[in-house]
Structure 1
């Protein structure tokens, strides 16, 4: 085993010999690893800390170890690193320093360390390259912390990108710097980074529907005031004309100089909630309207059912029967969420009490959907006609027959023919009773239709026409 002096004489490196004689004690006390290679890359000296990093003892100037004392080396990505590509080998090849190069080394027990390498060339007094020195520092914990920070930052970016809430950022002048896919979907467009300002919406409006300039939007207010804005409501419009509503939560971002450097905004889409609120209001308004109409109808029925010239029990039965007819219509409407009712089902329900085994009732017609007001009115009209038929018309006789036919025409037109036969002889009345007046008034007032009565000798015929059908 050659000592350092003999190796220095053999390689004619008097400059190296002189340097090691004066600095060897200092090198041993450095907290970083330091080692030196000659012009051919042979390891000729290293301090204690370098051996600790390598995890094994290396006899300096053994004539075998080149470029590095580690068992194995890898680049910063973890790929195997050839010794000829190590930092100190590059210095010996080019004569130029290699600074802040990260490499990974593997110790004999399999443990891996990340080292920060700074290699410098060594020249003799004549300027010839005689070797290189490498300073290596263990930055394993630093790299782990840095990787964790990068991973967490990546998580943050992925969370923002995949968030169902629209998120975007701007600089201090309001120019958009970033946005996630939820924001682009909400806006219905992808704004131009660095050009669009304040918000990516095509247009904005105040909750009352008046235009909101983009320069007055919540994001602009937050940047100009330096204060966050919480839950500011606005209506947005997409390029295709569709609209929605959001709650904005812009928060200013302050730089190291204490000035607002930008802002981040979260837009919570409340379009569904606003639509539900509008629907609820419409339903309440509609319910209020229907309740008023129903009460008015009940009041009218009571006024005409309870008269002083009639028996009390008869008045009560008449009133209850009319309420049941009204109830039948309501049941049909409730089954269809008060959107429509089928004429056939209404006719069947109203006339059900008068059916018998002889089949004297014959209601026929196509499935025809009626609006809510039309369904209620028609149920009351059919009830009045049936009541009259039972008392005075065809259904008052065993051989009497009742035919009810209807057909649906264009533009929501409906025609229904009520025809009685086989009953008592019919004479044209000298005055118009409650039933006739109610039918004519209800059809005209509630349905915009009309009723024509024909008092033929063989039975009453009533033709009803109106245009309050709902399209099937």
Structure 2
């Protein structure tokens, strides 16, 4: 039986029974009126009603459906109910509707989301009922839908609140910090596992007890002050104190205490988070001890030491720095150096922002080998050597610098005294060598034997060569080493004076000679030049001797070359006393003598001085 058939049998016109003798005309009017009332009711009922065929197409919709969907009725008719369903909700509705059309079920209810014309959606509770003919065949379905968005939002809000609450519970339970709540009388109300680990009391042992069970003797007076602040609505952040464990041991903790309010906003208690800071306190203690030891060490060092920040502002200085500079530096305002004024070694003014400490900070490098002069407020000046070194953090960023100023006044005085002594020694040595050379020269002139005159003249020439090397060596501030370009010309000039007929060309000279090398090398050069001039040169007008001293990859090479015929070293080795002297001195220098006849050349190769 369809719905129209059931309606015709159960409804009668008002005031009359449903009998066959009813007049046709009044009955038709009554049915028409009834249908009109049903149509009005259908349109204005407070729920959405949709009639759909077995394919799910909308055959009829009431006004409430149009209001919910934001469409005109004409826009919805013929469209599938699944087109307006959010994709993620289609499968469940379609599955139930398919069973309904197949006759497996006559009714089902589902919650799903329906899209509006403007793109938004709302939650609807849909009840789908079958309408069948007398044979039970599916004709259409009537779907009644209610807007349940408000309920869904409330459910979602409740679920979210429950989830947040559960998250908070999980956080509290899993926190490594002790999280405790207490009422305004200081009685413990909650106690998390972190509190049990930190203080040793179980929740059963702590809850209901006064929080003062955690206070060591002498600190009970802290609690009234904390509760008073909580009652005023204050929050206490990072309050560092000491508490007692169950076993009686003490620990340093940091407390954060916050008021707890009820639903009416009234303060009913407090929550506190306690964090163990024992390790941090111990580290701070060790740091203070380390800083104290460092301060004591700096104070004990007999040299001016100070530090700056990354901008060059003075942050620390020791007492030696005060004595050195003749003033007390101003922390945070003095820059770059603790001194009153600075000068370069030549006496010119050195601006503080150009001093070695400023360079070290600006260029990020340690400065070594610099010298400067500090002037005190009383006008006295102090020569010194600075040792500025940048300080960096773990990431390599410059955080400041440290500098040590070494007073070299005594060293300067010692150097001056040493220079005077060296000058005196040089003067006396020069006079003695000149006297010895004069005695040898006089003896050679008065000697009756030609052999004696020869020996005395050779000795005089050797003394002259040694004197030339000595003048170069002791004419410098550093008497331990000197340059080859200073040594070679002086020795060559001395030999020219002894052999005026010779044409001696002094060539390239570079390298560094030590004091130990200078004298033997001067004697070797004298012997080789004398031998070349006397035995190698036949025509002094057209022939000459060339000499050079060069550094060749860490070894020095002395080369004497003439325009003569040369000689065979092996043939004259045993008979020429001068060459025997050269060979002996070459061994002393750990060198090798090499002689060639074409070209005529004698060369000595020996190790250079390491700088």
Please say which structure displays the higher CA radius of gyration. 2
**Bigger relative contact order, structure 1 or 2, given CA contacts below 8 A and separation 6+?**
1
